Amino acid sequence: MVHSDIIRVGVNGYGVIGKRVAAAVRQQDDMILVGVADVSADWRLRLAARMGFSLYGAAPGAALAMQRAGLPVAGDLDDLIASVDVMVDCTPKGIGAANAEVYRRKDKPFIVQGGEKHEVAGHSFVAESSYAGALGRPATRVVSCNTTSIVRTLTALKQAGLLRRARGTLLRRATDPWESDRGGIMNTLAPEPQIPSHQGPDAQSVDPDLDVVTMAVKVPETIAHLHYWSVQMTRAADKAEVVAAFLASSRIAAIRMDDGLTALNSVKELMADLGRPHDNLYEVALWTDMLRVQGDELFYAYMVDNQAIVIPETIDAIRALSGRIAAPAVSIARTDSSLGIGALDRLGPPDQVGDS
């Protein structure tokens, strides 16, 4: 690979998503991480510096505050934008929309996260569904963790010709594991006030053909989301066929209750045992022994690591915007290989997958 093939990437916002994107960019042999921009100067940024990331001030005064905190600073946001091929915005909801104007004004391809509206980028991204549409675009939006999981799984059913309509109940972790100031709920469940919840329509921003309705509820845990689905198929099918349809996607991993993976936390421990950074679960982890087919109806549940699932999509989105790789499957395979995606399925004895 010659130097000009390397995609130079900047990350704005070094939080839950930003730090994972930065680490993942570094693991790509066709990308280089130019730096990360942020507005704070506490232990998080000291860790970024320790990781060897170049730091940029993301707002007026931020660079100065970093310097005062003893952090090495490479410049401000404008400097970072000027030095990259693609900007990945990982700032909190709403701020990304404002930043989008800046990137656009500078004619710099950019990615925003799922907290922003579809209109901010004009395109919504899940690799296996909409990579091609993002090729060479000025911007795309990597949809939220929940929506990403919905599009991945329903696309798998759709590609197998099995999907008529899907109705899901989404149990949302109330806040992130590191967070102790905001969003916690204790000994209660808090339904989202509206049915349908926004995730169904959001999935349609990626693929308008999906017939999907979601209901959502906030639950008192921090590890991951959990989805339950009731799907009307186009016809009766047997369980093996359905499982095969799901596992045709490298980003849906089979897990099994009878293997001891009986709850969200044991799956998360498996990720730690795998040695993944931050115990990231990039895949939709779907219980294949729990999955049930009843005539033309299908029932299943899966786990979504809200901190990690969008990381591979973001890497693919960078490639799509850069236009360097046209074939979705090529980018996906490269991302998967770099992040160790697929390891889960290779762990289990293949003859056990899907039977019950």
CB of 225 to its own copies, least distance (A): 9
Residue closer to its own copies by CB (options 180, 236) is: 180
Residue closer to its own copies by CB (options 59, 213) is: 213
Q: How far apart are CA 134 and CA 116, in angstroms?
A: 17
Q: How far apart are CA 199 and CA 206, in angstroms?
A: 11
CB of 231 to its own copies, least distance (A): 10
Which uninterrupted H or E stretch holds 232?
A: strand 225-233
Residue closer to its own copies by CB (options 136, 191) is: 191
Residue closer to its own copies by CB (options 167, 334) is: 167
Backbone angle region of 292, left / alpha / beta, with phi > 0 → left and psi within -120 to 50 → alpha: beta
Other Cβ atoms within 10 Å of 93 Cβ, number: 13
Query: What is the edge-to-edge ordering of all strands in the sheet holding 75-76?
Result: 75-76, 55-57, 31-38, 7-12, 86-89, 110-112, 139-142, 124-125
Q: Which of 215, 183, 210 minimizes the C-alpha distance to 198?
A: 215
Is 145 catalytic? The answer is: yes
Which structure tokens are listed for 110? 């950019």
Q: How far apart are CA 75 and CA 36, in angstroms?
A: 10
CB of 45 to its own copies, least distance (A): 10
Residue closer to its own copies by CB (options 100, 303) is: 303
Is 38 annotated in a binding site? The answer is yes
Please list, in sequence order, all residues whose beta carbon lies within 8 angstroms of the beta carbon of residue 133, skipping any fewer than 6 positions away.
Answer: 123
CB of 3 to its own copies, least distance (A): 28
Which uninterrupted H or E stretch holds 338?
A: helix 328-339
Cα end-to-end span (Å), the chain: 47
Point out the catalytic residue in the list 62, 145, 166, 170: 145
CB of 135 to its own copies, least distance (A): 34
- Count Cα atoms within 13 angstroms, Cβ side, for 194: 7
Is 280 annotated in a binding site? The answer is no
Tell me the binding residues for NAD(+): 38, 306
Show which residues are catalytic.
145
Tell me the binding residues: 38, 306
